[in-house]
Amino acid sequence: MVENTDTTQAARPDERLRALDRLTGTWKVTGGAEGTVTYRWMEGGFFLIQDVELEQYGQRVTGLEVIGRERPFGAERPSEDIRSRFYDSQGNTFDYVYEPDGDTLTIWAGEKGSPAYFRGTFEADGDSLTGAWVYPGGGGYDSVMTRIR
Reported as a single tens digit per residue, the pLDDT across 72-127 is 999 999 999 999 999 999 999 999 999 999 999 999 999 999 999 999 999 999 99
Q: Tell me, yes or no, whether 67 lies in a domain.
A: yes
Q: Tell me, yes or no, whether 38 lies in a domain.
A: yes
Cα atoms in the Cβ-side hemisphere of radius 13 Å centred on 126:
10
Q: Tell me, yes or no, whether 7 lies in a domain.
A: no
pLDDT value, residue 11: 76
pLDDT value, residue 138: 85
133 vs 33: CA distance, rounded Å: 10
38 vs 51: CA distance, rounded Å: 5
Reported as a single tens digit per residue, the pLDDT across 6-15 is 444 457 889 9
SS (H, E, C) the chain: CCCCHHHHCCCCCCHHHHHHHHHCEEEEEEECEEEEEEEEECCCCCEEEEEEEEEECCEEEEEEEEEEECCCCCCCCCCCCEEEEEEECCCCEEEEEEEEECCEEEEEECCCCCCCEEEEEECCCCCEEEEEEECCCCCCEEEEEEECC
CATH number at residue 98: 2.40.128.20
pLDDT value, residue 10: 56
Count of domains for the chain: 1
Q: Does pLDDT of 1 surpass 60?
A: no
Q: Tell me, yes or no, whether 8 lies in a domain.
A: no
Reported as a single tens digit per residue, the pLDDT across 21-80 is 999 999 999 999 999 999 999 999 999 999 999 999 999 999 999 999 999 999 999 999
16 vs 35: CA distance, rounded Å: 27
Q: Tell me, yes or no, whether 64 lies in a domain.
A: yes
Q: Tell me, yes or no, whether 109 lies in a domain.
A: yes
Q: Does pLDDT of 140 surpass 70?
A: yes
Q: Tell me, yes or no, whether 135 lies in a domain.
A: yes
Q: Domain range holding 115?
A: 15-147
